[in-house]
């Protein structure tokens, strides 16, 4: 009996959910430790994303494609893993900002205010308030979820384009001999 090959969508969903859970766990750990506003520590999420994309793609190539994978299939899988992980992370971001820590948006706005005062000391209070009003429109829980999903989709596409270069492995039996 022939073994059925898992589709790239199923593999992408599986590793996307695992990677998304890893991103959520990192976020929760940083929140519990009081370090969730630390941008440097939050950048660890990129390493989790890259790790999930690479591991899921290599696993698929090794276990379902006899060790070989085209660039196109590698890109598709990298993109799907990142996309599904990003969608899960974006939903979590909404839940976090809306229910877990409703003061999160206020903290972002206060951090933005401090950054404006530090980097542009000549700004008037009116200019700062105007800039913060605009920032507030884009930092509602819903908007953070939407922008998060879009950001992860774009990031996953770029990551997929680059990672697929290294993760592809052409089957030598398919190349024509001259």
176 — pLDDT class (breaks 50, 70, 90): low
Beta bridge partners of 69: 169
40-92 residue pLDDT tens? 999 999 999 999 999 999 999 999 999 999 999 999 999 999 999 999 999 99
Q: Report the length, in residues, of the chain.
A: 178
Does pTM surpass 0.75?
yes
Who's near 26: CB < 8 A, 6+ residues apart?
44, 45, 48
Residue 116: how many other CB atoms lie within 10 Å: 16
CA-angle at 157, arms to 80 and 169, nearest 5°: 75
From residue 131, alpha-carbon distances to 40, 103, 144, 146 in Å are 24, 19, 17, 21
One DSSP character per residue, 109-172 reads HHHHHHHHHHH-TT--HHHHHHHHHHHHHH-SHHHHHHHHHHHHHHHHHHHHHHHHHHH-B--G
What is the distance between the alpha carbons of residues 63 and 42, in angstroms, rounded to a whole number?
Answer: 32
Tokens of 114: 């401090």
When pLDDT is averaged across residues 119-125 and rounded to a whole number, the result is: 90
Q: What are phi and psi of 136, to 5 degrees?
A: -60, -35
Domain range list for the chain = 8-101+145-170
Residue 1 has pLDDT above 70, yes or no: no
């Amino acid at each position: 009996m022939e073994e059925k090959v898992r589709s790239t969508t199923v593999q992408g969903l599986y590793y996307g959910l695992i990677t998304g859970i890893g991103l959520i766990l990192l976020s929760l750990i940083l929140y519990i430790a009081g370090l969730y506003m630390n941008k440097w520590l939050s950048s660890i999420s990129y390493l989790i994303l890259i790790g999930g994309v690479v591991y899921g793609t290599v696993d698929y190539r090794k276990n379902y494609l006899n060790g070989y994978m085209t660039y196109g299939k590698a890109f598709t899988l990298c993109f799907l893993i990142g996309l599904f992980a990003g969608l899960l992370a974006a939903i979590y971001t909404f839940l976090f900002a809306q229910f877990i820590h409703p003061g999160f948006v206020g903290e972002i706005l206060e951090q933005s205010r401090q950054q404006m005062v530090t980097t542009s000391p000549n700004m008037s209070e009116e200019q700062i308030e105007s800039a913060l009003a605009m920032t507030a429109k884009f930092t509602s829980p819903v908007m953070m979820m939407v922008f998060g999903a879009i950001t992860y989709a774009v990031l996953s596409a770029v990551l997929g384009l680059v990672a697929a270069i290294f993760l592809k492995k052409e089957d030598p039996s398919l190349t024509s001999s001259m």
